[in-house]
Chains A and B, each alone.
Chain A
Amino acid sequence: MNKDEILKRSVYTGTHLLEGNVAMAEGCIAAGCRFFAGYPITPQSEVPEHMAKRLPEVGGVFMQMEDEIASISAVVGATLTGKKAMSSTSGPGFALMQETLSWANLIEMPLVVANVQRVGPGSGVVSLPTHGDITQIKRGGNGEYEVIAIAPNSCQELFDLSIVAFNLAEIWRVPTFILSDAWLGHMREKVVIPEPEEIKKRIVPRPEYIPAENETEGRPQIYTTANKDFTEFNIPAFPPLGSKHFPYWWISLTHSQISGMITETPSVADNTNMTINYKISKNEAKISIVKRYQLDDAEIAIITYGTPSRSALEAVNECRKEGIKVGLLRLVTVWPIAETAIREVAEKVKQIIVPEMNLGQIAEQIERFAFHTDGQRIPVHRVSHTAILHTPKEIIDKIKEIIQ
């Protein structure tokens, strides 16, 4: 098969009625994913099932591994060897992946993991949605690291934003997460998939390692370097395993960002942590994707992400009909937290409402930025519950309650 044939096969062009999990899998394949390793778990099992069918058609490999630890380890191996690779899982499986995800962050691996969230803790409720893993995504592993997480709210977006997730992983060289949930994953909606040529324009390919440009003193420069103030970052391509330029010893211990070698020097270890964290958090404004709706004259802002943003949109429309000045800031990327956009909104409104399918994991973050320019704190109201979808009515009721 030549490249054109593979591209053609990888894009399921047309207008379809697709299940969320399938739309996401199609988005990932269109994005260039050619290796998938996973383990069955409800409510994401349709993802590996679809991958098993589709990946060999495009010359890719599907692996059902022995557990989620093996799955994410194999994804690291495949990514290092030059393939775009991913895994998908749900709550308990995601917890098992944390040690490896922490390592993948340390070594700046551009891989993708989809978490089709279900109710937890423990074995939870397998078929009900919750966004209980939001904090775990970046605080679940050992050490400290920043990730990118993207939260679609429809089957169309599960397709489109999966491509964006793979792109962000490549651009920022960081594990990137697609946040779905039991409800979204099992819902069926219309999905329009454009022609392969159109998709091709959207894809960021794996950057090629060029020795002349990526070497420091004759050694491959495999990690990101930053200037002293961590305002500028050089994120290099890395030589894949199997190539002549692969370093002789790529370690899993804390390394020097410059030499890639083991370090026990506190300042060097500190620099590594700062670099991998600030690479994402200080570039928040460049990475974040948000959608603004009716915010220009809003006195109340709803800030939310994922599934509840659908109910929130409905609530805004209903309130506007009654003349209540409400707007919506939808966080399409949940991590890094969209500080710039949230501050901008907070400065203009009087109150903020955060509907979330957890007990306020992002509301806690928003509270950090909920100030007017004069330093006045503005109230952040939660509409929090787990396992239950938000109805537009309960959000409207909350709005009416707080404007009393």
Chain B
Amino acid sequence: MSYSAPRGKENITPHPYGTNTQMHKLMGFPFTMFCKGCGYGSIAQAICRVFKEENLQEELFPFIVNIGCYSSMPTVLPGKTFMTLHGRGIAVATGVKMANPKLKPISIHGDGDLLSIGTNHFLHGARRNVDMIVILLNNNIYGMTGGQLAPTTPMGSKTSTTPYRYGEEPIDAVELAKVSGATYIARWNTSTIRDFMKSFKKALHHKGFSFIEIVSQCPTQFGHKNNLPKALDGFNFIKNNSIRINKAKDMSPEELKGKYIIGEHLDIDRPTLWDRKSQIIEKLKD
């Protein structure tokens, strides 16, 4: 990621939903700070499209943005954003939701952020069924800090901190969300953006803790170290390793090793944290 924004309008690649971004409203043109070919741009665009299609009142759907390459995503996000510390978004969002239950916070995380430093909050946010959306941008690496091993890095990959391809078993965020108690769970990748949009729309209307993982290519940090230097290499690597959930049902655990099972994994109803808190407040009123 680079902090040096393009210096003039002439350097901007046309962005179909650019006028919907905050940066456009503020500066007259949108720009991203992502590397060329990074998957995060298309995800941001999809989020902008959903905001427009759903005609959302932006202040009621605040983004809570954590720390990683996506920290600069607000330049191409549609609404209000509050940037927190590394991993703390769900805890902050819990405070936000309890202070103003009308809001539906959307917390944006990386794999390092959500599955390493902030895992505790992830488990407990899901357990409490806080009415919020968690979007995990899984690029299989610590992008921002220079390509170190992440808890999602596939076994045997080369990273800045695994020069000898030593690996640790990666974690499956969808399974973690399931056992923790999330009530809407989906996983998509950058080649299934339309499905992601559908899931995101569903999550916006879902009452409870929604978790959407989106596997995204990182040509700069993951790709370069793992023979996937071009955007399309990483894109295809993820695409070819993804299996639709209905197909995966008939496959053995060996066949599914190292695969991303994409699709809608769970959609259930359960009282949210605020449902329970407000019940008590109501009861104590008289």
Residues in A lying within 8 Å of B, measured CB to CB: 1, 34-35, 37, 56-57, 59, 61, 63, 65-67, 69-71, 73-83, 85, 99-100, 103, 240-244, 246-253, 262, 264
Contacts and interface: CB of A to CB of B under 8 A. Distances in A.
Given A61-B277, A242-B62, A246-B59, A37 B95 contact: yes
Contacts of A244: 59
B206 interface: no
Q: What secondary structure prevails in chain B residues at the interface with A?
A: helix
Contact of B92 (A1, A67, A73, A262): A73
B25 A77 contact: no
Interface string B68-94: 000000110001111111001001111
A99 B124 contact: no
Contacts of A80: 82, 95-96
Given A61-B98, A83-B99, A248-B80, 12 more contacts: A34-B99, A56-B277, A63-B94, A66-B124, A73-B91, A80-B96, A85-B99, A241-B82, A241-B96, A248-B22, A252-B67, A252-B85
Contacts of B59: 242-244, 246
A8 to B, nearest CB: 13
A249 B83 contact: yes
Q: A-B pairs with the 10 shortest C-beta distances?
A: A77-B95, A74-B95, A73-B91, A248-B22, A81-B99, A78-B99, A70-B91, A77-B92, A78-B95, A77-B96
B83 A73 contact: no
A35 B95 CA distance: 8
A240 B94 CA distance: 16
B124 A56 contact: no
B99 A73 contact: no
A83 B96 CA distance: 9
Interface of B: 3, 22, 25-26, 59-60, 62, 64, 67, 74-75, 79-85, 88, 91-100, 102-103, 120-121, 123-124, 277, 280-281, 284-285
Given A74-B92, A100-B88, A82 B81 contact: no
Contact of B83 (A63, A65, A250): A250
B284 A56 contact: yes
Contacts of A35: 95, 98-99
B88 A73 contact: yes
A241 B84 CA distance: 13
A57 B95 contact: no
A81 B22 contact: no
A242 B93 contact: no
B179 to A, nearest CB: 16
B120 A66 contact: yes
**Residue of A66, A67, A262 with most chain B CB atoms under a 10 A cut-off:** A66
Contacts of B88: 69-70, 73, 100
Nearest to A1: B285
Nearest to A248: B22
B108 to A, nearest CB: 13
